[in-house]
Amino acid sequence: MTDNKNSAQQSSSSTVPFELLTTMLYDPNQDPSLPLLERHLNRLRNAHQSLAIQLPQSWCATHEPCEPHLIQNKILTVAQGPIALRLRVTVGPDNQVTIISSPFITQSRHSQLPISVIDDQPTKYETPFLLFKTTQRDLYDSVRSRHHVSLVNDGKQPFDVLMYNSDGQLTESTIANVAVKRPDSQTWITPATSCGLLPGVKREELLEKGEIQEGIIMISELASGTWDVICFNALRGVYPVQLQLGTNL
């Protein structure tokens, strides 16, 4: 029954229009100015190859992955100038590469900690769109909408939402990967990919450096409110968050 259910979900996902997506930082004050570039390119290629198998009716299955150097060349034409930029890179049918840039203002070290709340219902990680980053992000949008979250850090209203799976295991936030640390430990634990999550390139780097370790974090354990919590993605880097507990734990 489970196999038939998964097959039906994959077939349905195959007909949903999508593009491969990665979000990058260009910062002329950093060296390199395009951090994690190779990881972003690998991510796009790996997503294409995986979705070609998981979504056999999608365009990924009928096209070879776009050559990384072609994507890189297009990125380099946009990643210029004196100000930091957010680069939204998509690869679509016929391997059309589109890059949308916008100014990116980094948060001051003296800014209020972003507030994260915990979702009030589990997420079912049953679609490839929750495992590979694409433009099909409706579920993440709906989670934020349900909690009236706008991704604006004013130190008062929730900035983001922490998600968990049907087994009550912490997975990710709507825009970043997450890690937690117990008060009596020096080890940052990030949810294992087996929990169901979208593994980002910053997470990949932190794991390789040994700065975080994979593990299982039960959402009920966070109810003590004594855990340290960090989030991280390629655009914002690593940033601590303030966990705001509700009544749903």
- Cα 116 from Cα 161, distance rounded (Å): 5
Sheet containing 97-103: order of strands? 20-26, 85-91, 97-103
pTM reported for the whole predicted model: 0.91
Rg (CA), the chain: 18
> What average pLDDT does the structure give for the chain?
91
List phi, psi (to 5°) of 163: -110, 160
Beta strand pairing call for 160-164 and 170-173 = antiparallel
- Residue 175 CB contacts under 8 Å (≥ 6 apart), including other chains: 140, 151, 160, 231, 233
Cα distances (Å, whole numbers) of residue 188 to 11, 81, 159, 224: 38, 36, 22, 17
- Any idea which residue has 């997470």 for tokens? 203
Between the CA atoms of 202, 34, 23 and 232, what dihedral angle is there, to the nearest 10 degrees?
30
In the chain, what are the domains? 11-103 (3.30.470.10), 115-244 (3.20.10.10)
Q: What is the pLDDT of residues 125-136, one digit of tens each?
A: 999 999 999 999
Q: What is the pLDDT of residues 139-194, one digit of tens each?
A: 999 999 999 998 888 877 899 999 999 999 999 999 999 999 998 899 999 999 99
- What region, left, alpha or beta, does residue 141 occupy, with left being phi > 0 and alpha being psi -120 to 50 degrees? alpha
Paired tokens of 155: 């130190």
DSSP percent split of the chain into helix, strand, coil, nearest 5: 30, 25, 45
**Does the structure show a pLDDT above 60 at 3?**
no
Q: Amino acid letter at 190? A: T
**Does the structure show a pLDDT above 50 at 7?**
no
88 or 113: which leads in pLDDT? 88
Paired tokens of 119: 């979702």
Cα distances (Å, whole numbers) of residue 167 to 29, 175, 202, 208: 43, 21, 25, 27
